[in-house]
Amino acid sequence: MRAFLGSQGLGALSGWLDELPRRPERAVLIPTAGNRIAATPWVDVAIGVLTGCGLELETLDLEGASPTVVEAMLDRVGLVFVTGGDPIFLLEHAHRSGFVPAVRNAVSAGRLAYAGVSAGAILTAPDLELYRTPDDPGRVNGTDGLGLVRFFPLVHANRGRQERYARLIAAHPDIPFVAYSDDEAVIVTGSTWHCRPSAITAPLSGPEPRA
């Protein structure tokens, strides 16, 4: 199982792709987490980085997508890349479209590599209950995430969130949180992971993702 969990910076993405057992030629970008946000400049940044890495790129919005469409798309790519925005809204449509079980199975089997930034990284957690916020428009009956990792990513740790994250960690001492900054990424290989620098190569020119 291979995963790249970013916060913002994608400077480490190309090197991570080179480390995969088989470097993907095609990728699908999932922008759904930003659907209820007025401007999503991070999606354009991701598209530029992915195409700059030589990937043939398609885009799939999970809002309105059927399980059949999702499965067909995943069958023809080697990498799925999920961008940021509202994590619970993303989770709603990831479950409704069948994306969660399809990606979980394909990534766990090594048929697909996963990259997620911000909300896309959060989606890999075992559960997303702790990521609920009043301004997230998502509506879900259950909060199970992809479960690709055993820890809970805390992204954007450098954006004045230190106290908030410290309170969260103190309130849940049995939960394995991993906090990391916008210029870092968590690299996951099987059941092991490590943080590495991941430079912000293209600063955002608009609003930041909520998660």
Q: How many Cα atoms within 13 Å fall on the side-chain side of residue 17?
A: 22
Choose the catalytic residue: 7, 93, 97, 118.
118
Ramachandran region, residue 170 (left: φ > 0; alpha: ψ -120 to 50; beta: rest): alpha
Cα 74 to chain centroid distance, Å, stands at 16
**Element holding 59 (H helix, E strand):** strand 56-59
Cα distance from N-terminal residue to C-terminal residue, the chain: 24
Strand partners, 116: 5, 82
CA distances for 22 relative to 17, 18, 112, angstroms: 8, 8, 10
Enter the tokens of residue 123.
């989606």
118 flagged as catalytic: yes
The answer to whether residues 115 and 78 touch, using CB atoms and an 8 Å cutoff, is no
Return the ∠ at Cα 108 (arms to 147 and 35), rounded to 5°: 55
194 flagged as catalytic: no
Question: What letter does residue 85 receive in the DSSP assignment?
Answer: S
Choose the catalytic residue: 156, 172, 194, 205.
156
**What crossing angle do the helices spanning 87-96 and 99-108 adopt, rounded to 10°?**
90
Tell me the catalytic residues: 118, 156
